[in-house]
Amino acid sequence: MSCLPETLCQSDEQIQVFLNKLQEAQTLVMMIMAVWGLIRRIAVRLLEEELSYRAHQPQCWPRCAKCGQFLRSKGFKKRQPRTLFGTIRWKRRVGYCPQGCRGSCRALLDERLGLRAYQRSSDELRRLGCALVVFVPFETAVRLLRQLTGIMLSADTLWRWTQEVGGQMMARVNQELKQLEQGAFPEQEAIEAGLEQSPLIIGADGVMVPFRPQPNIPKGKTQWREVKVGILARLKHGLTKTGHKTSCLAQRRLVAVLGCIDQFKPYLKLEALRQGVPQCRQVVWLSDGGRGFWRLFRQLLQPLGVIGILDFYHGAQNISKTAKHWLDGRTHQCRRWFERLRHQLRHGEEQKVISELSRLVDSKQLPEAAQKTMENLQIYLTIHQEHIQYEQFKQMGFPIGSGLVESACKWLVQQRFKGVGMRWSEAGFNCLLHMRLAWVNHRFDSHFPLMELPSTN
């Protein structure tokens, strides 16, 4: 036996067990697994010894916050939180007020260690658990955590962490909203290198999520409620291997709210300010028609000089629908009319399209059903005439389809909240949503400072 194992053995019997396993291991994998257990055992021992040493250092008791008498030690009490290495155990002094004042009990070492009262798992373990829960169902997270660390937790524990951590994240955002209401702007986020000149794209969409009719009762008919999701991202242009131009969204930031457009508005505003919308050279709002999002654009973004673009495909689809109402959908005439208008719309002749529609509406020669659809289309395109200058938008390098932003919005909710059999309570949904938002917006780790593992290579 070499020198290191021998020294280790002398301090702990369990270490001998792992060393035996290592020596008997046939394959490399078996050796590694034996060492994994060994290292965790050593880590637990190291932590326990250090903590025990600190716990036995002399200490001065402070005064009771209520009566002013000095606290007195009632002796050493057990502490055993779960950590990334497993459960560690030590004893430390706990002080009480000699008068017996309520809430006077203090463990000074716990306070120095950053352990909260009744905290049963250390924060690096909570961080890992929460990070898993952002992406996978609770039961899967339990299994993954077991595989990654060997630590067995219950789904209920992960659920409790989600409520605590997600709740804190939610409170932080609400605090920022309150400050904004009082006129304090949020700190502007730095733009990633290489994206300084890229236009900022903003879009929004609604996604339906299944809820339980009553928070704690699994029974009853599922209630579908809409979550409003918004995205703010930089448009990054690139080239494919074959030399074709592509564009994608970079530095994506999402906002989401379970509620109506008016509840969504302050969240979008907060993020817009954080992304420096008023200072940005080019900001584009991309959306399909309706659902109140254009009202939001007019109230919030248009005054800041943001360019609005109505999804081209949505506009074209409306023309196609009208064509079918007016002319029999199967005829050449119908297809030619639709194709001509779509072409005109796409290539800078949107005013001609609007004039033609107006002429047709005024002629009063359309069949009754077609008259209404034609009128609706004419109103729709007239309202949006500033948002359908597709030729110009293309020349400026902007996308004219809103698919890119809408799929990013859908992903945020779809990927985690709409699994088979999933149904949410409002409180539970909001906690997990905020945790997920913090993750995708790269703000998750700021809730768990100094906990990134050093990378090895």
Residues that bind Zn ion (CB under 5 A): 64, 66-67, 97, 99, 101, 104
| Pick 64 or 286: Cβ nearer Zn ion | 64
Q: How far is the CB of 97 from Zn ion (least distance, A)?
A: 3
Residue 151: CB partners within 8 Å, gap ≥ 6?
A: 82, 84, 86, 125, 145
Report the residue number, 72 or 352, with the smaller CB distance to Zn ion: 72
Nearer to Zn ion, 111 or 192 (CB): 111
Specify the DSSP class assigned to residue 248. E
Q: Please identify, using beta-carbon distances, which residue of 104 and 344 lies nearer to Zn ion.
A: 104
Residue 64 or 433 having the CB closest to Zn ion: 64
Q: What are the b/e assignments for 258-280, b being 16+ CB within 10 Å?
A: beebeebbbbbbbbbbbbebeeb
How far is CA 283 from each of CA 124, 132, 235, 301, rounded to the nearest angstrom?
Answer: 39, 34, 10, 9
**How near is the Cβ of 62 to Zn ion at its closest, in Å?**
11
Nearer to Zn ion, 67 or 208 (CB): 67
Of the pair 53, 70, the CB lying nearest Zn ion is at 70
Cβ-based nearer residue to Zn ion, 62 or 367:
62
Q: State the minimum distance, in angstroms, from the CB of residue 73 to Zn ion.
A: 15
Least separation in angstroms between CB 74 and Zn ion: 14
Listed in sequence order, the DSSP H helices in 63-104 are none
Q: Beta 82-83 vs 86-87: how paired, if at all?
A: antiparallel
Give the count of beta carbons closer than 10 Å to the beta carbon of residue 317. Answer: 14
Is the Cβ of residue 99 or residue 154 nearer to Zn ion in the bound state? 99
Q: How far is the CB of 105 from Zn ion (least distance, A)?
A: 10
Q: Of 403, 205, 384, which Cα lies nearest the Cα of 293?
A: 205
Q: How far is the CB of 98 from Zn ion (least distance, A)?
A: 7
Q: Residue 105 has what DSSP assignment?
A: -
* Amino acid of residue 198: S
148 neighbors 40 (Cβ within 8 angstroms): no
- Looking only at the bridges linking them, the beta strands covering 200-211 and 283-287 are parallel
CB 81 within 8 A of CB 122: yes
Q: Are the C-beta atoms of residues 387 and 298 closer than 8 Å to each other?
A: no
Nearest approach, Cβ of 71 to Zn ion (angstroms)? 8
b or e along 415-446 (b: 16 or more beta carbons within 10 Å of the residue's beta carbon)? ebbeeeeebbeeebbbbbbbbbbbbbbeebee
Question: In whole angstroms, how close is the CB of 206 to Zn ion at the nearest point?
Answer: 56
How far is the C-alpha of 194 from the C-alpha of 231, rounded, in Å?
A: 20
Identity at 440, one-letter amino acid code: V
Which residue lies nearer to Zn ion by CB, 67 or 184? 67
Short-list 211, 186, 210, 134, CA closest to 165:
134
- Dist CA 80 CA 121 (whole Å): 9
C-alpha span between 295 and 272 (Å, rounded)? 16
User: What are the phi and psi torsion angles at 60 (to 5°)?
Assistant: -100, 135
Minimum distance from CB of 419 to Zn ion (Å)? 52
For the bound state, the minimum distance from the C-beta of residue 81 to Zn ion, rounded and expressed in Å, comes to 28
